[in-house]
Amino acid sequence: MALFFQMLPSFLLIFCRITSFFVVVPVFSSKNVPTMFKIGLALFISLIIFTGMGIQQPIPMDGQYVLLIIREILVGVLLGFLAYVFFTVVQTAGAILDMQIGFSMANVIDPLTGVSSPLLGNLKYMIAVLLFLSFDGHHFLIKAIIDSYRWIPLDNQLFDRIYHGQISDFLFRSFSKMFYLSFQMAAPIVAALFLADLGLGLLTRVAPQFNIFVVGAPFKLILGLVLLTFLFPELISQFQNLFAAMFDSMEKLLQLISGTQQTSP
């Protein structure tokens, strides 16, 4: 029993980080994934990590133990949230396309997230999840949270990094990169639809009797769907680059918290 109570604090800290990671990270945080499966997977991975780490240094359950729990939860949430930010690139790009094509008037409730999402964003998000699973991305996410203990042990300096603004600066740069990737993903169709709007505007000037509101909306809808069909094969390479950028940012966040990396994502 003495050995059990000596190991319990360290195991609970590991379990808190793993559980908070699965609560936020894409794919695993989906409502379609049962809660019991998440808890069981987090417990199983925690046991693997704990048996690999062993008892390096006993952690007493004193007043500072609550702060240690909060710190481990923040580490897991930061890693999962950073991955989630890069997955929102797909929905943001879809929202931009919906506004240009005209689908923004028919936003639907996404059963995976429980919030209103754009039609094309929801379509691209489902394709991104399927490609992510086909690329074994969920295995890389599990490997990332396991490898986090190599960069960020239980006695990490997360609060010091947050106090000096390094984490917030990194997250701000990650948000900027997210919007950049969103506009980059939606740029070809947005540029084509802008030229279509320009052409329809010139047509209105040349022939004022031409009812642009009746013809313009179906024309933009058909043009947007045709361009989207032609660009669908390029989604594989776009999502590969997106996933590579996501894992690269997660690695840099681990290095930043461990004190071996600058703040640029």
| Tens-digit pLDDT profile for residues 81-113 | 988 888 888 888 888 887 777 766 656 565 555
Stronger pLDDT, 63 or 42, i.e. the higher one: 42
pLDDT 10s digits, 131-175: 888 888 888 888 888 888 888 887 777 878 787 888 888 888 888
**Closest to 11 measured CA to CA, from 63, 77, 81, 65:** 65
Q: Say if CB 173 and CB 265 are below 8 A apart.
A: yes
User: d(Cα 94, Cα 88) in Å, to the nearest integer?
Assistant: 10
Tokens for 166, please give them: 């390094």
Contact 196, 188 (CB under 8 A): no
Tell how far CA 265 is from the center of its chain.
14
What is the pLDDT, as a whole number, of residue 20? 92
Please write the tens of the pLDDT for every residue from 71-83. 889 989 999 898 8
Res 264: pLDDT = 47
The secondary structure of residue 165, as a DSSP letter, is T
The answer, yes or no, to whether residue 246 has pLDDT greater than 60, is yes
Residue type, 2: A
Instruction: Supply the DSSP string of 110-127, one letter for each residue.
Output: -TTTSSEE-HHHHHHHHH
Domains in the chain: boundaries = 2-258
pLDDT the model gives residue 263: 45
Q: Determine the pLDDT at residue 18.
A: 92
Least confident window among 95-104, 110-119, 192-201: 110-119
- Nearest alpha-carbon partner for 13 in 80, 61, 83, 81: 61
> Which residues touch 11 (CB under 8 Å, ≥6 apart)?
46, 47, 50
Cβ atoms within 10 Å, residue 74: 18
Rounded-to-integer distance, Cα 153 and Cα 75, Å: 10
**What is the C-alpha to C-alpha distance for residues 191 and 193, in angstroms, rounded to an integer?**
5
Burial 104-143 (b: 16+ CB within 10 A, else e): eeebeebebbeeebbbbbbbbbeebbebbeeeebeebbbe
Quick one: pLDDT band at residue 245, thresholds 50, 70, 90?
confident
Say how far apart CA 236 and CA 169 lie, in whole Å. Answer: 31
User: Identity (one letter) of the amino acid at 221?
Assistant: L
Which residues, other chains included, contact 178 with Cβ-Cβ below 8 Å and sequence gap of 6+?
85, 86, 88, 89, 92
